[in-house]
Amino acid sequence: MQKLAKDAVKQLKGAKVVGLGSGSTVANIVREMAKLPNKRLIEFIPTSLQIKLEAEKSALHMSDESRVPDIDIVFDGADQIDAKFNMIKGGGGALLREKILISAAKKVVIAADSSKFVQSFSRSVPLEVHPIARIAVLKKLTEMGARPVLRTLDRGYPFITENGNIMIDTTFSSIPDPKKKEIELKCMAGVIEVGLFTTRRADIYYKAKSDGTFETITF
């Protein structure tokens, strides 16, 4: 991942505003950005406190949501990427902010382990849900034939996002049309955002292999 991160940082190429996703892969990229000689000239927008703390340790210049429309490039990871390059994200709980930044960015770079690249989705889809809608959404998802589970912490407390919402991890028997499923779930009252990313394909995918090398897929 360190070699991958070093190469990914080359994609900056004059960027003035940079979005930072969440997770260990992005943390590696942030640590590489700390070595940039011109880092103080770049504004960074993090999607989570985890990455904000990492960026602060790297002495990166933080910006706020007023600069979101001006994002030149965003770096992020993924939980799964299917054969058509749709993604499932949200394992870390930052999917709402990640989707906002990805939707706004002029260029998107996604880095993930090769095991995350699959033919079709085989893991649960995270949903960020308003707490008042918890019972209603769980019921509707079950009626759809899905298997929803409220995300909890080790001691059983509900996982709360940085936006004050809960997460419901939902397993479907299959998702033949991810885009249609994303729209269907997003239209459910109380669902703030869906962990299916089908609208915006990344410009570059970094695929980290088990032998220490990586592959780049460019569109």
Give residue 19's pLDDT.
98
Give SS3 for 108. strand
Q: Sheet harboring 214-218: ordered strands across?
A: 61-62, 43-46, 17-20, 73-76, 107-113, 204-208, 214-218
Give me the numbers of helices (H) and strands (E) for the chain, helices first please: 6, 14
pLDDT for the residue 218: 95
Structural domains present in the chain: 2-117+198-218 (3.40.50.1360), 125-195 (3.30.70.260)
- pLDDT mean over 151-168: 96
- The mean predicted confidence, pLDDT, of the chain is 96
- Work out the percent of the chain whose per-residue pLDDT is above 90: 96
The yes-or-no verdict on residue 39 having pLDDT over 80 is yes
- Amino acid found at 110: I
> Does 1 have pLDDT greater than 80?
no
DSSP 139-177: HHHHHTT-EEEE-B-TTSPBPB-TTS-EEEEEE-S--S-
Return the SS3 of 68: helix
Residue 207 to residue 217: CA distance in whole angstroms = 8
Backbone angles phi, psi at 14, to 5 degrees: 85, 5
Q: Which residues are catalytic?
A: 98
pTM: 0.94
Polymer length in residues for the chain: 219
